[in-house]
Amino acid sequence: MMRHKFLSCIWILLIVAMGYGFPEKAARAACPDGMIAYWPLNEDEGGSYADGVGDHTGQCGDVCPAPVSHERINGSQAFDGSSAGISVPGDAAFDWGKADSFSIEWWMKRGYESPVGDEVVIGRRDTAGGLAWWAGLSADGTAHFSLTDTDGVTHSVTGSENLTDGVWHHIVAIRNAEDRTLLLFVDSQIAATKEIAIYSGGFEFTDEPLSVGWAGTEGAGYFNGLIDEVSVYNGVLSEALIADHVADGLADFRQGYCETPQPIKIMPLGDSVTAGLSAADGEVLEPGLMIGYRQALYQNLTAAGYDVDFVGSQIYGNTASSAFDTDNEGHPGGTDAQIAANIFDWLSLNPAQIVLLHIGTESLPGDTTGVEAILDEIDRFDQTITVVLARIINQATYSLETAIYNTGIAQMAEERIANGDKLIVADMENALTYPDDMASQLYPGVSGYEKMADIWRDHLTRFTAFPDQPPVITSTPVAEATVASPYTYAVRATGSPVLTYALASGPSGMVIDPSTGDLSWTPFDEGTFTAAVRVSNDVGYTEQHFTITVGPRENQPPVAKAGTDQMAVEGVRVTLNGSASYDPDGGIASYRWEQVSGTSVEIRTPDKVTTTFTAPGVSSPALSFRLTVTDAKGLTGIDYVNVVVNAASPPTADPGPDQSVSKGDTVTLNGAGSSASGGTQIVSWRWAQTSGMSVQLSAPQSAVTNFVAPNVGADGDTLIFTLTVTDSNGAEASEAVRITVAFVNLAPVSDAGQDQVVSEGTTVRLDGSGSYDSDGGIASYRWNQTSGTPVVLSDADVVQPTFVVPSVASDGVGFTLTVSDKDGLEAKDTVLITVNDNGIKIFPDNVVSFTTVTGRPMGIREENGGTLVRLSSLSDTGVGDALDRPENFIYGLADMAFLADQSGGTVTVTVFFQEPAPDGYLWYEYSSLNGWQSFGDDAVFNAERDQVTLTLTDGGARDSGTSVADGMITSRSGLGYVPPPEKDDKDDLLSCFIASAAAGSLPQFCILPFIFAILTAVFCKDRKKGSNQDL
């Protein structure tokens, strides 16, 4: 039978967080202040229901509720939701005036069924036959309190949480006259508040009865669930008392609100360890001296202020020098089956609220079945008993069987706790140091039992509360430390409420955990250091001052870490990993792996940090290995690891069916259909390509992965993938799947570029470079104009042709780009060039107008022989050699390209100026081959000089791009000015020099006069600077 489930894990956490559980009751010597009626509802048969604080005895209504034992606080009553109820005669004690405050308190547990209407837990009728006030559940399952005065003024307050959840809830409804509020508390938390609840009358309804579990009249307000501990108070119930009552119920404290406190009854239960056997092997110990952990535990609890009573039929330790409560149920040599057969009777004679269970020392069970039988028998006696279950101590020489048994104990306990079992696991195995804390192979010595007492105490104090006491430090400081080694001191103290630890003074770097009291420090210098710790709570504080002597650094032994215990499958290679081992003050010099139990295996590299072996057959499933690490000075450290071998039951790999796809398809490989057997699970998937064109898997370590079918040739390809799955035992299985990829030529993708917005006269570059073909490449491009004023492209069959936007009235020019792959598949895309007016209106409509770099407008018109396909305006600065560059390019340079009608042909164009060209200004061009030159006769100005007609020949005159006729003429030219040379006496000589130099010879009759003239000019110039100007 499973233990009682009403206390869920959430309630356990709530108890610990609130600091409640089995509270110390010494502070409560009488009923709470202001209590005027209290119905504990503990009656085990119907009829009447006593008032625990007054004489307001209740009677059954139409039908008596059904008694229920061992529920919230002692017993409770079950109401059926249709006829059961309790009536309490009217009394002036319940007549409150307008200025009075009062409180109503109860426990309730309501099932999951939705209420059919409001359900009353307690209420009072008025003189008109209705309910003057009532508290309970509203029709939506939330807590509700409604209060009406004698003038008919009504206020109410409703919670927000649905309480129809099958769990006990503690509710308090309050009318606070001073604050003029109504309050609802649910499980010690404020659930709802009604502000400004103003009443004009009082609440005096003399002689009118109270009703519990119904509205007091047939067919109305019946409650459907359990009700317990109903009480009524004059005044506002304090939050502290509300929390105290909640804790009483959550911890199943079996004393009502007004009962005399009783000690907490604890039963130590188990075998020789519980009895206290501590003899060396072969030694007989006097039973009266067998104190085990019980003496230290009892004395620790009573010193902390607990009122405890150890119970049981045995009295081991009754002649010990330091007296304690010796009652227990420790039975030397007892087995789990024997304990299970007798525990019900032992509890019948000596009931307990807590059982401390340690069983299995002398007769180690093969599994946890016997321990579960003990727990079931405890349940059969009383499901509210809390059991603290031990992971039992190990043996002086490490026992793998004990460790495996303890693992099973922990797993079994987790399952029962998850089902609501009031069960706590105490780890005794890892609390002791072996063999130092053992008196013999099986039994602890004094130090071992003291450590067990500390563990029991720590777990008990997690769900029991201290009385209010100032702190008392009980631990002894650690007085010695070593340079560069961690120093720790676990400060321990008693006191209640919650203690806070602080470092009052200490050396640099010393810290203390404020909640646990664990102090830590790493000294780096020898010497004597002082420190002080302070422990405080709401009651007071205390300090402990101590001195630490730091000595020179000593060699510390290494720490072996053999890794966590493992599960393996027979025939599988198992890896033992000691890489987590370390030496705190140097390094590890050597490793040594040894097998200590189980079927013998071959350790392949026993002197390496990691090694392997092959798991044997399951005739001996448990294998144990010892890792010994040694540092450079010969100190050693030891650790153990266990490997449990299971029978081989490999999983089944299922990579899914073979598939046929086309290149470019996204292919899914699905191994989710793989399965494991023998209670194992698939823990990893691994996909690997073993044949065909290589592809990239999206998630090769997942059950499901994807890839894109490759660009195969005309013959296609077959790709093979192998799925390998591994189960939780390490067993593997593999299976292959074939993916046949067929060749399918895919059409290219045409991308004509982004739409553009330009002005008249702008050179537009169309851009098809974003086009692509995924399986072969683009073979050709073709641009076709689809809208707008016709234009001519520089080359309609290239990726990025250009054209010049004409001066037209249309808003835009559209093009279609057609791309073809090598197999003839085509794709098209369009682009729109939106044309804006450039605002230049001074030229004819058939002239391409634009604004030059100098800010002046200019126009160009093709006359014959070709079409303008590129146009931009450049600054002459930086173009060509500055020595022979013409001056004052009024319009900058026009960078132009013309598509000739025929290769080697001539193109004639007219350039329009904003105003007539000044006299002396000519049309100049620049080429890298010839430098700066005038167009000469190839530039003809009209009579007004506001136009000039240019003649350009493909591959010839005025084609600055190339001397080869290629159908494209380029020109970088503009309107400029070269000033005439100045005439003086040296002109003839200079002309002679220039002409002769150009001819390749300089005759004497030219050289000598020229040199003389130069020297004369220089001399005369210098002379002019002085006062004497004659030669």
Residue 458 phi, psi (nearest 5): -60, -40
CA-CA distances (angstroms) from residue 656 to 387, 689, 731, 736? Answer: 51, 15, 20, 9
793: tokens are 């492209």
CATH topology of domain 470-551: Immunoglobulin-like (2.60.40)
For residue 282, the model assigns a pLDDT of 54
What are the contacts of 521-525 at 24+ separation with CB within 8 A?
521/481, 521/486, 521/487, 521/488, 522/484, 522/485, 522/486, 522/487, 523/481, 523/482, 523/483, 523/484, 523/485, 523/487, 523/548, 523/550, 524/483, 524/484, 525/483, 525/550
Classify domain 566-641 by CATH architecture. Sandwich (2.60)
The fold of 659-742 is Immunoglobulin-like (2.60.40)
- 659-742 matches 35-250 in CATH topology: no
Encoded tokens for 948:
């000039």
CA atoms in the 13 A half-sphere facing the CB of 965: 13
Name 817's bridge partners: 783, 829
Is 160 in contact with 192 (CB distance < 8 Å)? yes
Nearest-angstrom CA–CA distance, 584 and 562: 17
Q: What integer pLDDT is reported at residue 280 of this predicted model? A: 67
The residues pairing with 705 across neighbouring beta strands, listed in sequence order, are: 669
Residue 464 is predicted with a pLDDT of 57
Give me the residues of the chain with pLDDT under 70, please.
1-30, 70-71, 129, 248, 250-255, 259-261, 280-285, 462-469, 496, 619-620, 678-679, 808-810, 982-1031
Contact of 163 with 224, CB cutoff 8 Å: no
Residue for token pair 């808003």: 811
Looking at the structure, give the CATH architecture of the domain made up of residues 35-250.
Sandwich (2.60)
Q: Which amino acid is at 1004?
A: Q
The residues that bridge with 182 in the sheet, in sequence order, are 175, 194
Q: Hey, which bits of 728-843 come out as E strands?
A: 732-742, 756-759, 763-765, 778-787, 802-804, 812-821, 826-836
CB 153 within 8 A of CB 172: no
Q: How far apart are CA 357 and CA 365, in angstroms?
A: 15
Tokens 């067919």 correspond to 219
pLDDT in tens, 77-111: 999 999 999 999 988 888 999 999 999 999 999 99
200 by Cβ neighbours in 10 Å (0-12 / 13-18 / 19+) ranks as exposed
Could you please report the per-residue DSSP string of 232-272?
Answer: EEESPPPHHHHHHHHHHHHTT--S-TTSPP-PEEEEEEESH
Q: Are the beta carbons of 791 and 766 closer than 8 angstroms?
A: no
**Taking CA 64 as the corner, what is the angle to CA 60 and CA 70, rounded to the nearest 5 degrees?**
115
Cα–Cα distances (Å) from 258 to 25, 816, 913, in that order, read 11, 96, 115
Residue 251 has what pLDDT? 54
Contact 108, 168 (CB under 8 A): yes
CATH class for the region spanning 756-836: mainly beta
pLDDT number for residue 2: 35
pLDDT recorded at residue 636: 95
Contact 523, 487 (CB under 8 A): yes
Query: What is the number of other CB atoms lying within 10 angstroms of the CB of residue 443?
Result: 27
Interhelix angle for 446-460 vs 294-303, to 10°? 40
Instruction: Fill in the DSSP letter of residue 142.
Output: -
The DSSP 8-state label assigned to residue 507 in this structure reads S
What's phi and psi for 209, nearest 5 deg? -80, 165
Range 264-461: architecture per CATH: 3-Layer(aba) Sandwich (3.40)
Main-chain dihedrals φ then ψ at residue 53, nearest 5 degrees: -130, -15
CA angle at 125 for the pair 121 and 126, rounded to the nearest 5°: 150
Task: Name beta bridge partners: 123.
Answer: 134, 211
Strand partners, 802: 765
pLDDT in tens, 911-933: 999 999 999 999 999 888 888 88
Contact status, residue 474 vs residue 302, Cβ threshold 8 Å: no
Find the helix packing angle between 987-999 and 1004-1024, rounded to 10°.
140
- Rounded to whole angstroms, the Cα distance separating 500 from 541 reads 9
CA dist., res. 395 & res. 398, Å (int):
6
Gap between the Cα atoms of 309 and 171, Å rounded: 32
What confidence score (pLDDT) does residue 118 get? 93
Domain range summary for the chain, segments of one domain joined by +: 35-250, 264-461, 470-551, 566-641, 659-742, 756-836, 848-977
